[in-house]
Structure 1
Amino acid sequence: MRLVVLGGGESGVGTAILGKKKGYDVFVSDFGKIKDNYREVLSINGIKWEDEKHTEELILNADVVMKSPGIPDKAPIVKKLVEKGISVISEIEFAIQFTKAMTIGITGSNGKTTTTLLTYHLLKQGGLNVGLGGNIGKSFAWQVAEDKHDVYVLELSSFQLDGIINYKPHIAIITNLSPDHLDRYNYDYNLYIASKFRITMNQDENDYLIVDYDDVEITKWLQNNTTKANVIPFSILKELENGGSIKEENLNNYINNELFTMPINELALEGKHNIKNAMAATAVAQLMKIRKQTIRESLSNFQGAEHRLEKVLKIQGVQYINDSKATNVNATFFALDSMTTPTVWIVGGVDKGNDYDELMSLVREKVKGIVCLGIDNQKLFNTFENVVDVMVETTSMTEAVKIAEKIAEKGDTVLLSPCCASFDLFENYEDRGRQFKNAVHNL
C-alpha cells in the first residue's frame, strides 16, 4: 500500500512515521520547504521525501493520501487526486484506525485551544493516561505510532474534519461558531458550519456532543439536523435542567444526574467566554468520572494558553496582554469584552473578510487608542478613525509596542489582539506573540 503525505510539517511527519511503522510504502511531498528538524526525522526513519515541488508521478500512484490541514482543496495536486478517485484524508482519519484509545474531539471558531488544554489538564490531574494532539502539540499520528495513551484530547480544525470518513470521537465539543476561514469555503458560512458538525456525523447513542446553547448557529443546526449522540448543552444566559449553567454566581454542571458546582470567582481563567470553556471541559471530566474535588482544584490552578489573553508584564502601572491568537473578529470581541480598564489596542494583519462593525460598541466604550500593525490598514482606518482619539500606523512590532507605551497611561492596558492572520509581517501568530513579548520586555 502506497501512502503519500502532502505537507512535511508536524502532522505530515507524524503520519509518515505511523505509516512506515504499519508497513506502508511512504512518500512525503511538500510544495514549500521542509524544516531541517523534520528532514532529519524523515531521513533517520528511511522515509523518502521531496520539497519545493510536487512530482506528479510519485504522488498520483498513491493508494491513500494524507493531506495536511494547511493545504486547500483547490490546490492543483489535490484536485488531480480527487479526479483520479484516490482517497484524500486527514491525519486524524489515518491514525484513528491504528489505536484502540478513546478520543475527545474539540472544535469551534474560538476557545477550542483553551478548552482542549483545560480538558487535558482536568483528565491528567484526575490520573488518566491522556495525550494531547490534533491542531496543538505533538502530532496525533506520531503519538499513536508510539502507542502510549488510553485517551486523547484532540483540538480539531474544520480542515481536519473535512478529511474524516469514519472518525468518531466518544465525546465531541463544539465551543461556538463564527465566520472564519471563509476563503476556504467559497465564502459560504453554511459550508463552514457543516464542516464543524462533521465531528458528530459518526457518533452513536453511546457518545456525547457538548455544545454552546447560547450560539444561534449551533441551536439552529440542532433544530434542523439530527445527531445520534447524547447532546449536553451549556449556557451562561439561561438556566438549563441538564448540562452547564450559572446560578447565583456558581458554575453548575448537571450531567447524568450528578451535580457539580463551583463559585465562578474561583476559576483560574477570567472572562465570560472562559466560564463556557470551563463548563465544556468540566462536562468531559464528569463523563470520565473524575472526582469533583480534583475538578475544582484543577479549574482553580489552570494556567491558560500562550498567546491567548496572556498577561505579559505590568510596566509603570500599564498591563501588557498578548492575545496574538485572536485571528478573527469574534476572538477579539471576547478580548475587548473582558477589558476592565482604558485600552490601547494593537490590531491588524491579513484580513480574512472581517466585519469590524461588530466591535464598534466595545471600541467606543473601552479603547482610547489604536495602533495598526499590518501592510494594509485602510479598512481599519475607515471603520475606527472617527471613533478613537489616536490612531497610528506601524510596520514592526517593536515600533507598535513603543507607540502603545507612549499612548498608555498608568492604570491602562495595552492589548495585542490582531483580529487578523499574521502572514504579512510574521511567520505565524506564535511568532507575532513572541515578538510582542520580547518588545515589551525590552521597553
Structure 2
Amino acid sequence: MNTSVNRFFEGIKGKTVAFIGIGTSNLPLIKLFADKGAKVKALDRKDFEALGENGVLAKEYGAELILGDCYLDNIDADIVFRSPGTPFYKPELVAVRESGNVLTSEMEVFFELCPCKTIAVTGSDGKTTTTTIISEFLKAAGKTVHLGGNIGKPLLPEIESISADDYAVVELSSFQLISMRQSPDVAVVTNLAPNHLDIHKDMQEYIDSKRNIVLHQSAFSKAVVNLDNEIANSFSENVRGQLCKFSVKEQLSNGAYLDGTTICYSDYGKVTRIMDISDIRIPGMHNVENYLAAISAVWGMVDVDTIVKVAKEFGGVAHRAEFVREYKGVRYYNDSIASSPTRTALGTLSLYDFKIAIIAGGYDKHIPYEPLGPVINDKVKLLILLGDTAPKIEQAVREADNFDESAIKIINVTNMEEAVAAAVENTGKGDIVSLSPASASFGLYKNFEERGNHFKSIVNGLE
C-alpha cells in the first residue's frame, strides 16, 4: 500500500470524524472511515424519515446520526469533512477551524494521498463533458482511469487500489476548489461566467475559488485555459508550469485550435491536423470547444488515431443535449445539465439553425438573465416556463431589443407534466422540444439528473 495512505488511515484510528450530509456521495466515506477505526458522526438537516435508505445505511455502517435544524451546532469532532454544498465561510464551520480541529473535504484528502497523475477540470459550463472526454481518451489508450469528483462518485474510497501508473480524472466545482490548497498535475479551465452567486458572497469569490485549480501547481504541472474566455484566460498569469490554451477563434503556438473546420494542435509551433469538426459525434460548437480543451489536456499521452476514434464514437453524457424520443414527428431532447443562462445559450440554443421550443426555469441562483433574452428571441418560437426564475426569464425576453410578440409564444406552467403537455399541444411535425432550464433544479428537484429523468419519463410515457 502507498505509505502515505497507510499512515493517514493509521492516524484516524480512534479519532472522531464528522461528515456533513448523508447523501449518496458521503455514504462510501462514512463506511470507509468507520471500517478504518474512526468514530464516525453523520450530520444532516433532514430527519431520519426524510433520509430514507441513506439514514438506515449510515447507521448500519456505525455512524452516530446528528439530525435536524441544529445539526451544525457545536460540532464535536477531531476532523470534519465539509460537503461541497456547505458554504466554506458558514459560521459553524469557521468555529470548527477556530477551535483547532481539522476542516477538510473528500477531494482535498484525495489530492494529498493520490499516488497517480491527476487531471482536473473546472469551469462554469462544459466541465462534465470535457472531464468525460478526457477519461474516454485515456481509457481508449489503454490507461486505467479513476473518474470522479463533482461528476459522481467519491474517489477517496478507491485510494488503496490506485497505482502510480493510473490516471485520476476529476471534475471540480467552485465549492470543492474554494478550500483546496493543492492543484492537479493537469488543470483545465473551460470557461467562467456568473454562477452560484446564491452561495458565493460575490463574483470575485467564485472566480478566486476556481483559480485554486492552477494557483498551487508546480513548475512540472500543465494548465489548459480557454483563450476565448476573458476570465479563464486571466488565470494564465498564475500558471507556474506549462501553459497551454485552446481557441475556436485564433491560431496558437501551444494548444488546440480551429483552422476553418479542422481541429489542429500546435506543439510549440509543430502543427498536427487532427480531424474535421464533423468527425465529432456530439453536436454543437460548445462540444468542439470541449474537445479542444480535452485534446490539449491529454496531448502527449494519447495518440491522434485514438482521439479521432473517440470523437467518432462517443455519444455524449446523459442530460446534455440527450435525444429522448420522437413523438408525432417532434423530436424531444433532454439538456437538464443547462443550469445557467450561458449553458442554455451556448448549448441547446447553439445547435439548430431554426427556431425550437424549450422548457426553461427553476431555482434562482441570483444570476443575471438579461443576456439570455436576445438569444431566446433569436432561437426560440415556443418558450415554456416554470419555477422561481420563470418571471426573470420572461422579463429578459420581453425587454430585449429584438423581442417580437408575434414571433414567440410564452406559456407559464407549474410543473414538468404541464410543461410537456404544453409542448405537445403547441408543436407539430418537424419541431424540436428541448428541456434546457437555464436554472438550477433545487426546489423542484434535488439535482439536474432527477429533473432530466423526470422529463424523460414523461416524454417516454406519451401515447
- TM-score normalised by length of structure 2: 0.88
1:31 is the counterpart of 2:45: yes
Tell me the distance in 1 between the aligned counterparts of 2:161 and 2:62.
17
Contact 1:54-1:77 at 8 Å conserved across structures: no
Shift of 1:249: 1.4
1:137 is the counterpart of 2:152: yes
Equivalent AA in structure 2 for residue 307 of structure 1: H
Deviation digits for residues 311-335 of structure 1 (CA, Å, limit 9, x no counterpart): 1112233221111111111101112
Tell me the distance in 2 between the aligned counterparts of 1:97 and 1:200.
16
Tell me the distance in 2 between the aligned counterparts of 1:430 and 1:424.
14
1:383 is the counterpart of 2:396: yes
1:57-96 paired onto structure 2 within 5 Å: 59-60=75-76, 62-96=77-111
Tell me the distance in 2 between the aligned counterparts of 1:8 and 1:427.
14
1:301-380 paired onto structure 2 within 5 Å: 301-334=313-346, 335-375=348-388, 377-380=390-393
SS of residue matched to 1:239: coil
Deviation digits for residues 300-350 of structure 1 (CA, Å, limit 9, x no counterpart): 111211111111112233221111111111101112122223211211112
Shift of 1:117: 1.0
Shift of 1:184: 1.8
Shift of 1:295: 1.5
- Correspondence for 1:238: 250
- Count, aligned residues: 437
Tell me the distance in 2 between the aligned counterparts of 1:426 and 1:418.
12
1:211 is the counterpart of 2:211: no
Tell me the distance in 1 between the aligned counterparts of 2:344 and 2:30.
36
Contact 1:18-1:144 at 8 Å conserved across structures: no
1:16 is the counterpart of 2:30: yes
Deviation digits for residues 4-25 of structure 1 (CA, Å, limit 9, x no counterpart): 2211223423333443455543
Contact 1:130-1:150 at 8 Å conserved across structures: yes
In the alignment, which of 420, 423, 441 is matched to residue 401 of structure 1?
A: 420
Deviation digits for residues 196-221 of structure 1 (CA, Å, limit 9, x no counterpart): 01011221111111111000112234
- Correspondence for 1:100: 115
Q: Which deviates more, 38-47 or 272-281?
A: 38-47
- Correspondence for 1:229: 241
- Correspondence for 2:260: 248
Q: Residues 375 and 291 (structure 1 numbering): CA distance in 2 closer, same or farther, change over 3 Å? A: closer
Tell me the distance in 2 between the aligned counterparts of 1:305 and 1:376.
26
- Structure 1: state its 5+ residue gaps: none
Contact 2:195-2:365 at 8 Å conserved across structures: yes
- Structure 2: state its 5+ residue gaps: 1-14
- Correspondence for 1:420: 439
Contact 1:17-1:145 at 8 Å conserved across structures: no
- Correspondence for 2:456: 437
- Correspondence for 2:272: 259
Shift of 1:41: 4.3
Tell me the distance in 2 between the aligned counterparts of 1:134 and 1:376.
28
Deviation digits for residues 131-180 of structure 1 (CA, Å, limit 9, x no counterpart): 11001222111222554782111010011011213x23111101000000
Contact 1:341-1:411 at 8 Å conserved across structures: no
Q: Residues 210 and 131 (structure 1 numbering): CA distance in 2 closer, same or farther, change over 3 Å? A: same
Q: Which deviates more, 257-266 or 417-426?
A: 257-266
Equivalent AA in structure 1 for residue 117 of structure 2: M
SS of residue matched to 2:299: helix
- Correspondence for 1:282: 295
Contact 2:389-2:439 at 8 Å conserved across structures: no
Tell me the distance in 1 between the aligned counterparts of 2:413 and 2:179.
39
Tell me the distance in 2 between the aligned counterparts of 1:118 and 1:396.
33
SS of residue matched to 2:371: helix
Contact 2:383-2:410 at 8 Å conserved across structures: yes
Deviation digits for residues 363-406 of structure 1 (CA, Å, limit 9, x no counterpart): 22221111111256322332324544311111121111111122
Equivalent AA in structure 1 for residue 438 of structure 2: C
In the alignment, which of 270, 273, 276 is matched to residue 283 of structure 2?
A: 270
Equivalent AA in structure 2 for residue 283 of structure 1: S
SS of residue matched to 1:268: coil
Tell me the distance in 2 between the aligned counterparts of 1:58 and 1:141.
27
Tell me the distance in 1 between the aligned counterparts of 2:95 and 2:19.
15
Q: Residues 55 and 348 (structure 1 numbering): CA distance in 2 closer, same or farther, change over 3 Å? A: closer
SS of residue matched to 2:198: helix
Q: Residues 376 and 240 (structure 1 numbering): CA distance in 2 closer, same or farther, change over 3 Å? A: closer
What RMSD, in angstroms, separates the aligned Cα atoms of the two structures?
Answer: 2.3
Deviation digits for residues 235-282 of structure 1 (CA, Å, limit 9, x no counterpart): 001111210111131111223657351111001121111111101112
Contact 2:130-2:294 at 8 Å conserved across structures: yes
Contact 2:364-2:440 at 8 Å conserved across structures: yes
Tell me the distance in 2 between the aligned counterparts of 1:236 and 1:376.
32
- TM-score normalised by length of structure 1: 0.92
